[in-house]
Amino acid sequence: MITRPKGTYDIYGKEAKYYNYINAVFQRVAELYNYEYIRTPIFEDSSLFHRSVGETTDIVSKETYDFKDRGDRDITLRPEGTAGVVRSYIENKMYGDVNQPKKFYYSGTMYRYERPQAGRYREFSQIGVEAIGSDSPLMDAEVISLAYRLLEEMGIDNVTVKINSLGDNESRNNYREALIKYLEPHIDNLCSDCKNRYKSNPLRILDCKVDKDSEILKNAPSILDYLNKESKERFDKVIEYLTQLDVDYEIAPNIVRGLDYYNHTVFELVADIEDLGNASTVAAGGRYNNLVGNLEGPETPCVGFASGVDRLMIILDKITKENIDNKVDVYVMAINEEERITALKLVQDLRWCEIKCEMDTLDRGMKAQFKQADRLGARLLVLLNSEDLQKGIMTVKDNLTHEEVKVDENEIIDYIVSNM
């Protein structure tokens, strides 16, 4: 038997309901904030991710799916969504559009070769937004509040925004030197990855999954102490705006994010839900003002966030969401061929009226159809029989009150619509 590759999974049944629900809510919320949909390729030139995400990150050094295509080109399956959106922004010269900033939302599959675990797969689904062209702290606050609102709309409560600032280049360089000096006497006590990052990318040590609970990292100097005046004032503004927007936040100096392109604001949204473990971080992002320039576009400020759909599905499975159950509005019941033809036409007409309905296609008896209607949670039942049809009437049963009503077949659509 052929089985699915390790680190992938099939989405069907209940999980498919969650998946579609998450994407539907995301689209609605993103468009409320005036973000427009963008779709970029699943695979790109490998240099895009090496230059944007960073050669020293775990993603590029250990996790990307790289291959040669039939034209001997270096290709990579996308490990994240931001780089592709920025590439599209530059290639399509969107910076020349008078309507700025450009605000996009996306949804799609990403690929990283890492150890599969709960909420983390080698093929995974991600949703995210990118706001390109505004350097205002207001835009940072908008992006964070959008993520916060998205989780609220899904019924995910007890969410806290953990936020930090990496500052501008000057602040970051000053902190980098201080961090190297602090880590020097301790580096031999950290993991091999940390030793490799010590000189090349010491900030990434703070994001280490192996040593995250080490006292060495807990006692490391805070980057907030190395922000210059401009960076500090900017961070204070973001915090002020989040306060005005009633977004619950917590300043977390250890957050640096795992990608090289971030500067200034970085953040994670953490859900306080029991038994989530490492899956409690449900959205994350930040500002990346240098990425467009690094990819040979004009210097352009940007900010965005992404959220793993797989983790959101785990959370939705833990909370009650009646509106994503597999329920139908109407179940039409028929036994013989005459009744089935009438049922077929009725179901079609109801669907055109946006009534979710179903009928039997397995030649089940009436008792089995009643059971199926209950399994589907049907609100109304239409009970067809040849004798009633000859009189031009149909029986409608309310599955909540158990009341039955005889309805003229010419009025059946209006009756059902008005009782939904």
Digit-coded pLDDT (tens) for 214-230: 777 777 888 898 899 99
Q: Residue 282: helix, strand or coil by DSSP?
A: strand
Statement to judge: residues 414 and 361 lie in one domain: yes
Statement to judge: residues 43 and 156 lie in one domain: yes
pLDDT at 45 over 70: yes
Q: Cβ distance 60 to 53 under 8 Å? A: yes
Statement to judge: residues 252 and 394 lie in one domain: no
The count of domains in the chain is 2
* Spatial CB neighbours of 245, under 8 Å, sequence gap ≥ 6: 141, 145
Q: Specify burial of residue 115 (Cβ count, 10 A radius: 0-12, 13-18, 19+).
A: exposed
Residue 173 lies in a domain: no
CA pair distance 342, 351, nearest whole angstrom: 14
pLDDT at 335 over 70: yes
CA pair distance 306, 268, nearest whole angstrom: 10
Statement to judge: residues 290 and 353 lie in one domain: no
pLDDT at 323 over 60: no
Statement to judge: residues 334 and 414 lie in one domain: yes
Closest listed residue to residue 49, CA positions, set 261, 266, 199: 261
Instruction: Output the six-digit token pair for 60.
Output: 């590029």
- Find the helix or strand (DSSP H, E) in which 199 lies: helix 192-200
Task: Give the pLDDT score at 279.
Answer: 58
Which of 253, 281, 316 terminates a domain? The answer is 316
Full strand arrangement of the beta sheet holding 36-37: 36-37, 102-111, 123-132, 302-308, 281-287, 263-271, 159-165, 249-251
In order, the DSSP letters of 223-269 are GGGG--HHHHHHHHHHHHHHHHTT--EEE-TT---SSTT-EEEEEEE
Residue 182 lies in a domain: no
Residue 196 lies in a domain: no
For the chain, what percent of residues have pLDDT higher than 90? Answer: 66
pLDDT band with cut points at 50, 70 and 90 for residue 54: low
Statement to judge: residues 256 and 352 lie in one domain: no
Q: What is the CATH number of the domain that holds 273?
A: 3.30.930.10
Statement to judge: residues 283 and 141 lie in one domain: yes
Place of tokens 């009436």: 366
Q: Specify burial of residue 47 (Cβ count, 10 A radius: 0-12, 13-18, 19+).
A: exposed
Statement to judge: residues 78 and 132 lie in one domain: yes
Task: Give the pLDDT score at 81.
Answer: 94
pLDDT at 272 over 80: yes
125 forms beta bridges with 109
Residue 21 lies in a domain: yes
Q: Residue 332: helix, strand or coil by DSSP?
A: strand
CA pair distance 310, 281, nearest whole angstrom: 12
Statement to judge: residues 305 and 356 lie in one domain: no
- To the nearest whole number, what is the mean pLDDT of the chain? 89
Residue 37 lies in a domain: yes
Amino acid in the structure at residue 122: R
Place of tokens 């158990």: 402
pLDDT at 37 over 70: yes
Average pLDDT for 240-264: 85
Which of 316, 335, 363 terminates a domain? The answer is 316
140-171 pLDDT per residue, tens: 999 999 999 999 999 898 899 999 999 998 88
Q: Cβ distance 190 to 212 under 8 Å? A: no
Pairing of strands 281-287, 302-308: antiparallel
Residue 189 lies in a domain: no
Question: Beta-carbon neighbour count of residue 302 at 10 Å?
Answer: 26
78-104 pLDDT per residue, tens: 999 999 999 999 999 999 999 999 999
Which of 316, 346, 365 terminates a domain? The answer is 316
349-391 pLDDT per residue, tens: 999 999 999 999 999 999 999 999 999 999 999 999 999 999 9
Task: Give the pLDDT score at 293.
Answer: 92
Q: What is the CATH number of the domain that holds 362?
A: 3.40.50.800
Residue 207 lies in a domain: no
Q: Cβ distance 337 to 398 under 8 Å? A: no
Statement to judge: residues 32 and 58 lie in one domain: yes
Q: Cβ distance 342 to 382 under 8 Å? A: no
Statement to judge: residues 35 and 94 lie in one domain: yes
Statement to judge: residues 259 and 408 lie in one domain: no
pLDDT band with cut points at 50, 70 and 90 for residue 58: low
Containing structural domain, residue 341: 327-418
Residue 197 lies in a domain: no
CA pair distance 50, 390, nearest whole angstrom: 72
